[in-house]
Amino acid sequence: MKIAGREEMLEIERYAMKEIGISGAVLMEIAGNQIAEEIMRSYPDQSVHITVLVGSGNNGGDGFVIARRLFDAGYTPDVWLLADEEKLEGDARTQYQIHTRRKLSLHLMEEGLSSLDETLKQSEVLVDAMLGTGVKGAVREPLNQIIEQVNSHDFHVIAVDIPSGLDCNTGKVENVAVEADETYAFTMPKLGFFLQDGPSVIGNWQVKNISVPEGLADDLEMNLPEVITRALATASLPKRPQFGHKGTFGHALVFGGSKPFVGAPIYSAHTAFHCGVGLSTLVIPEEVYPVIASQNQTALVRTLPSESGHFTGAGVEEALFEKVTAVAIGPGMGRFDQGPELIRDIIGHLDEQPVVIDADGLFHVKDQLELLDRYKGPVILTPHPGEMATLTGRSVAEVEADRLDIAQSFASEHNVNLVLKGHRTIVATPHGTWVNPLGNDALAKGGSGDVLTGMVTAFLAQGAAPDDAMRAAVYLHAASGEQAAIDCSHYGVTPDDIIASSRKVLKQLEGNG
Tell me which residues touch ligand NPW (CB under 6 A): 9, 13, 27-28, 31, 55-62, 131-140, 143, 160-162, 186-187, 210, 212
Long-range CB pairs of 221-225, under 8 A, 24+ apart, other chains included: 222/2, 222/4, 222/8, 222/11, 223/432, 224/2, 224/3, 224/4, 224/8, 224/188, 225/2, 225/3, 225/191, 225/404, 225/426, 225/432, 225/433, 225/434, 225/435
Instruction: Give the residue, chosen from 13, 128, 450, 467, that forms a contact with K ion under the rule CB under 5 A.
Output: 128
Identify what 354 binds: K ion, ligand NPW, none; CB under 5 to 8 Å per kind. Answer: none
In the complex with ligand NPW, the residue whose CB is nearer, 184 or 249, is 184
- Among the residue ranges 83-91, 164-172, 410-418, 450-458, the one whose residues contact K ion (CB under 5 A): 164-172
Identify what 77 binds: K ion, ligand NPW, none; CB under 5 to 8 Å per kind. Answer: none
In the complex with ligand NPW, the residue whose CB is nearer, 51 or 280, is 51
- Among the residue ranges 53-61, 362-370, 470-478, 497-505, the one whose residues contact K ion (CB under 5 A): 53-61
Q: Rounded distance, CA 442 to CA 43, Å?
A: 33
Q: Rounded distance, CA 145 to CA 159, Å?
A: 17
| Residue 452, CA atoms < 13 Å, CB-side half-sphere | 31
Instruction: Give the residue, chosen from 48, 54, 135, 160, that forms a contact with K ion under the rule CB under 5 A.
Output: 160
| Cβ atoms 80, 54 nearer than 8 A | yes
- Among the residue ranges 108-116, 152-160, 209-217, 409-417, the one whose residues contact K ion (CB under 5 A): 152-160
In the complex with ligand NPW, the residue whose CB is nearer, 132 or 466, is 132
Core vs surface per residue 135-146: b (16+ CB within 10 A) or e: beeebeeebbeb
Which among 294, 356, 290, 359 has a CA at the least distance from the CA of 324? 356
In the complex with ligand NPW, the residue whose CB is nearer, 27 or 389, is 27
CB-based contacts of 393, cutoff 8 Å, min separation 6? none
Is residue 164 involved in binding K ion (CB under 5 A)?
yes
Q: Rounded distance, CA 414 to CA 389, Å?
A: 15
> For residue 240, how many other CB atoms are within 10 A of its CB?
13
Min separation Cβ 329 and ligand NPW, Å? 45
Which among 273, 339, 278, 267 has a CA at the least distance from the CA of 308? 339
Identify what 13 binds: ligand NPW, K ion, none; CB under 5 to 8 Å per kind. Answer: ligand NPW
Identify what 356 binds: K ion, ligand NPW, none; CB under 5 to 8 Å per kind. Answer: none
Is 313 annotated among the ligand-binding residues? no
Min separation Cβ 15 and ligand NPW, Å? 10
C-alpha torsion 145→158→75→152, nearest 10: -40
- Among the residue ranges 11-19, 57-65, 326-334, 360-368, the one whose residues contact K ion (CB under 5 A): 57-65
Annotated binding site: 58-62, 128, 132-138, 161, 164, 264, 332, 384, 421-425, 449-450
Known binding residues for AMP are 421-425, 449
Residue ranges for the known binding site for K(+) are 59, 128, 164
| Residues within the interface to K ion (CB under 5 A) | 59, 128, 159-160, 164
